């Protein structure tokens, strides 16, 4: 697993992919910082991450769309699946490499907290709570994006599928108001409680369960493909 993770991490950092992801996120995040925090003259660092969840919806595929789709299209997937490493280690290695890129991105957002700290006293507890919730949301998004990449050899299809599902999750609370409590399946709805500092164990369980589900589904897809070959 660690060999795969190291290889994937190098592919992110020795190619434009990782830098594009981090750069895009911080660029859009900075725009929201100016329009939401600076112009309004408020010191609530956590407010930024409502917009951060929106950014994540659209740029997660930058990290995930190539994970398996590129391997399948280039023909290297067969070498990967027939290597001595287990399918589980391959999937987890790729997942944790993307997770490290996400953690690096989150660490960069602390510079906005430092800016706010210069002008006042933003709540560190609420900020850390928000960062924790955002990481859980990110892991859930990465796991689904990885799954989407595993079921197609076309990176564009994987990207569109990932964004489409995330967008659908936005509207679940509204649909739930008509047909029932569908908001319980909305990751965005679950994340909203973290910046308020009122999250419960159920939110954490939801994110962890979603993440584990799609990691497992990715493993099953690749295991089935390996057995067929």
For the chain, the three-class secondary structure string (H helix, E strand, C coil) is CHHHHHHHHHHHHCCHHHHHHHHHHHHHHHHHHHHHHHCCCCCCHHHHHHHHHHHHHHHHHHHHCCCCHHHHHHCCHHHHHCCCCCHHHHHHHHHHHHHHHHHHHHHHHHHHHHHHHHHCCCCHHHHHHHHHHHHHHHHHHHHHHHHHHHCCCCHHHHHHHHHHHHHHHHHHHHHHHHHCCHHHHCHHHHHCCCCCCCCCHHHHHHHHHHHHHHHHHHHHHHHHHHHHC
From first CA to last CA, the distance across the chain in angstroms is 22
Domain that holds residue 180: 2-228
Quote the pLDDT of residue 199: 75
* Mean pLDDT, contiguous 10-residue spans, the chain (229 residues): 89 92 94 82 85 91 90 73 81 96 95 89 90 95 95 92 89 56 70 83 92 96 78
Residues in CB range of 131: below 8 A, 6 or more apart: 49, 106, 109
Measured from the Cβ of residue 210, the count of other Cβ atoms closer than 10 Å reads 20
Token digits of residue 76: 């290297």
Distance CA 226, CA 229 (A): 5
Task: Give the pLDDT of residue 180.
Answer: 46
Task: Note the pLDDT of residue 4.
Answer: 87
Domains contained in the chain, number? 1
């Amino acid at each position: 697993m660690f060999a795969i993770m190291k290889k994937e991490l190098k592919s992110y950092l020795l190619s434009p992919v990782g830098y594009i992801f981090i750069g895009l996120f911080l660029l859009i995040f900075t725009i929201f910082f100016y329009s939401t925090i600076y112009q309004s003259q408020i010191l609530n660092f956590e407010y930024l991450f409502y917009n951060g969840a929106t950014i994540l919806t659209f740029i997660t595929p930058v990290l995930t769309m190539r994970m398996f789709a590129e391997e399948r299209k280039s023909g290297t997937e067969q070498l990967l699946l027939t290597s001595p490493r287990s399918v589980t280690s391959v999937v987890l290695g790729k997942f944790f490499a993307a997770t490290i890129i996400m953690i690096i991105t989150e660490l960069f957002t602390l510079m906005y907290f430092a800016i706010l700290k210069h002008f006042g006293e933003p709540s560190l507890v609420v900020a850390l709570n928000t960062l924790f919730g955002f990481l859980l949301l990110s892991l859930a998004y990465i796991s689904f994006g990885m799954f989407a990449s595993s079921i197609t050899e076309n990176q564009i299809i994987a990207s569109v599928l990932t964004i489409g599902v995330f967008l659908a999750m936005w509207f679940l609370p509204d649909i739930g108001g008509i047909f029932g409590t569908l908001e319980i399946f909305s990751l965005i709805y679950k994340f909203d409680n973290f910046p308020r500092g009122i999250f419960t164990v159920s939110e954490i369980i939801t994110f962890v369960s979603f993440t584990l589900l799609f990691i497992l589904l990715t493993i099953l897809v690749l295991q089935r493909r390996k057995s067929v070959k």
